[in-house]
């Protein structure tokens, strides 16, 4: 988690920008290795021909910090109970970049455009309207069409800032995952105190070595951190 905060502060960006940049860099690194194994003549040009789109969950709440349950349940609380999440379609930057920080810059630029377009709010409004007037089956059909035409799902969530326990059993980490349909890859990231947990759910026929992909994401974060340190110095 310290590495992410270092990059965030150096680049003056959000945590999610860094995590999305890490994801793009990790996927680029993973696919680059796959092309090398297939003895492709020009890996850089091969990566440029790859066009991946992912669905990214966006928290639409005005207050994004974790609140005490008692405060949330209070009548008239600013942070209301329940879900308020939208979806944006995110084109991933799959390239062989000499500067690791370029993945983070691209992630921020893309998300800034998405936020300004109100795409996440429009998606939430369409789904809510469809659920209220047309029913759950139509919502399922709309969602299925969305997920059938994208490659992966990505989400990141802030977890507890302090260590917690359940019935006096300490929790060492928090992991979350969800299956959203026919997509080949689901990436869910949750922070817990001073660490982040990356959970991957994959189609094994497309990604037979998910541990390698996870390692590539971690290594990409280390490279981004080193580049940020050089820039800061």
Alpha carbons 46 and 40: distance in angstroms, whole number: 8
What per-residue confidence (pLDDT) applies to 110? 96
pLDDT band at 175 (very low <50, low <70, confident <90, very high): confident
For 129-165, write each residue's pLDDT tens digit. 999 999 999 999 998 899 889 999 999 988 888 898 9
User: Looking at the whole model, is its pTM more than 0.85?
Assistant: yes
Alpha carbons 85 and 55: distance in angstroms, whole number: 12
226 Cβ contact partners less than 8 Å away, ≥ 6 residues apart: 100
Domains (range + CATH), the chain: 2-232 (3.30.559.30)
Task: Reply yes or no on whether the pLDDT at 40 is more than 80.
Answer: no
For 71-104, write each residue's pLDDT tens digit. 666 666 666 666 788 999 999 999 989 999 999 9
* Contact predicate 197/190, CB 8 Å: yes
Other CB atoms within 10 A of residue 25 CB: 28
Compute the average pLDDT of residues 22-42.
80
What per-residue confidence (pLDDT) applies to 34? 79
* Closest by CA position to 123, among listed 88, 83, 150: 88
């Amino acid at each position: 988690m310290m590495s992410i905060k270092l990059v965030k502060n150096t680049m003056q960006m959000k945590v999610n920008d860094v995590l999305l940049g890490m994801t793009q860099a990790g996927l680029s690194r993973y696919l680059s290795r796959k092309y090398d194994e297939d003895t492709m003549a020009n890996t850089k040009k091969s990566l440029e021909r790859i066009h991946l789109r992912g669905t990214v969950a966006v928290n639409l709440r005005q207050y994004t910090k974790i609140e005490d349950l008692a405060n949330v349940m209070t009548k008239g609380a600013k942070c209301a109970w329940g879900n308020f999440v939208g979806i944006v379609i995110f084109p991933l930057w799959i390239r062989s970049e000499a500067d690791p920080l370029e993945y983070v810059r691209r992630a921020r630029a893309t998300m800034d455009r998405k936020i300004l377009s109100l795409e996440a709010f429009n998606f939430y409004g369409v789904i809510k309207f469809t659920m209220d007037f047309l029913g759950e089956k139509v919502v399922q059909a709309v969602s299925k069409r969305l997920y059938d035409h994208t490659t992966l799902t990505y989400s990141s969530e802030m977890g507890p800032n302090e260590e917690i326990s359940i019935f006096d059993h300490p929790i060492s980490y928090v992991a979350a995952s969800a299956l959203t349909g026919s997509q080949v890859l689901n990436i869910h990231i949750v922070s817990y105190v001073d660490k982040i947990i990356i959970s991957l759910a994959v189609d094994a026929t497309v990604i037979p070595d998910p541990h390698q992909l996870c390692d590539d994401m971690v290594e990409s974060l280390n490279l981004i951190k080193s580049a940020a340190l050089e820039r800061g110095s």
